[in-house]
Amino acid sequence: MTRNTRILMSVIYWAFIVYLFVPLALMVTMGFKDSKFIGFPIRSWTLDWYATVIQDTEVLSVFGYSMTIAIATTILSLIIGTWVAVFLGPNQFRGKAIIFALACLPAVIPGIISAIALRIFARLIDIEPGMFAIILGHTVHNVPFVALVVMARLSTQPKSHIEAARDLGADSIVAFFRVTLPYLKPALIGAGIFCMLLSFDDFVRAFFLGGYQPTLPVLIFAKLRSGMSPEINAISTIVLIMTAILGLWAERSMRRLNKGS
């Protein structure tokens, strides 16, 4: 590799980083603008928009609603996803490739199609649009991610772990809870936080599966359609900071996973 291409590539990398961060930085900055109008230049600064958000009971209740959905989704996704991984990981059987592909399907189906299909399905199994429908939709979407992360972790577990537990008299259930589950812990923390982010940030499923009560992304979308305002920036910035903290935490526990805790 010549010197020039090396320099060129590092320039492209940093330019790409700028492309990723500048829009977000602008969005955060605009939340401190002392004017109703979104746009540059910014002449005076204020914290009022944050005060508005914190006192806005609608935003707070929507925040709680989204959080409830995210937590419920995460718990369900972890249970089902781990079960799928424990089943698909070590067992060999005919048709496994097809079952595996079907298990991953919701992760790759275009969002709008998945949302429409789930909306119709919720009607079929008689779930009203609202919290339960959204939880179902998010869980369907998140299970493949949990399953893949847990399967990756499971594949590194030495067989001797389980055998030792069995020799010491544990049956399958006890061996799973006492040996396998602790081994999976970092993967589960990482996958769980990832699920929370996916659920909390999801728009398209929440939009089609939701009832009158909006989730946070749906509320931001509705506000945006009626006009941009620095209040939206303040809400988005709060979400951004929370997301970054959760994401970094997930990343840390996944890292420990690679090192082999």
Nearer to other proteins, 77 or 131 (CB): 77
CB of 191 closer than 8 Å to CB of 246: no
State yes or no: residue 143 binds other proteins (CB under 8 A). Answer: yes
**Would you state the structure tokens that stand for residue 92, as one six-digit string?**
């060999």
CB of 108 to other proteins, least distance (A): 5
CB of 55 to other proteins, least distance (A): 21
Identify the three-state secondary structure at position 99: helix
CB of 71 to other proteins, least distance (A): 17
Binding mask 171-210 for other proteins (x = CB under 8 A): xxxx--xx------------------x--xxxxx--xx--
Please name the residue that has the structure tokens 């119709």. 120
CB of 153 to other proteins, least distance (A): 14
State yes or no: residue 67 binds other proteins (CB under 8 A). Answer: no
Alpha carbon distance 80, 192 (integer Å):
12
Contacts of 250 (CB under 8 A, 6+ apart): 189, 190, 192, 193, 194, 197
Alpha carbon distance 207, 142 (integer Å):
17
**Would you state the structure tokens that stand for residue 105, as one six-digit string?**
């399907």
Per CB under 8 A, contacts with other proteins among 219-258 are: 220-221, 224-225, 228, 232-233, 236, 239-240, 243-244, 246-248, 251, 255
Strand pairing partners for 260? Answer: none
Sign of CA dihedral 214, 217, 218, 220: positive
State yes or no: residue 80 binds other proteins (CB under 8 A). Answer: yes
State yes or no: residue 72 binds other proteins (CB under 8 A). Answer: no
State yes or no: residue 57 binds other proteins (CB under 8 A). Answer: no
Contacts of 151 (CB under 8 A, 6+ apart): 85, 88, 89
Among 43, 94, 160, 169, binds other proteins (CB under 8 A): 169
Alpha carbon distance 214, 117 (integer Å):
20
Nearer to other proteins, 85 or 131 (CB): 85
Per CB under 8 A, contacts with other proteins among 82-141 are: 83-84, 86-88, 91, 93, 97, 99-121, 123-124, 136, 139-140
* # chain residues binding other proteins, by CB under 8 A: 99
Query: Which one of 45-53, 54-62, 170-178, 184-192 is the stretch in contact with other proteins (CB under 8 A)?
Result: 170-178
Please name the residue that has the structure tokens 């009158």. 212
State yes or no: residue 16 binds other proteins (CB under 8 A). Answer: yes
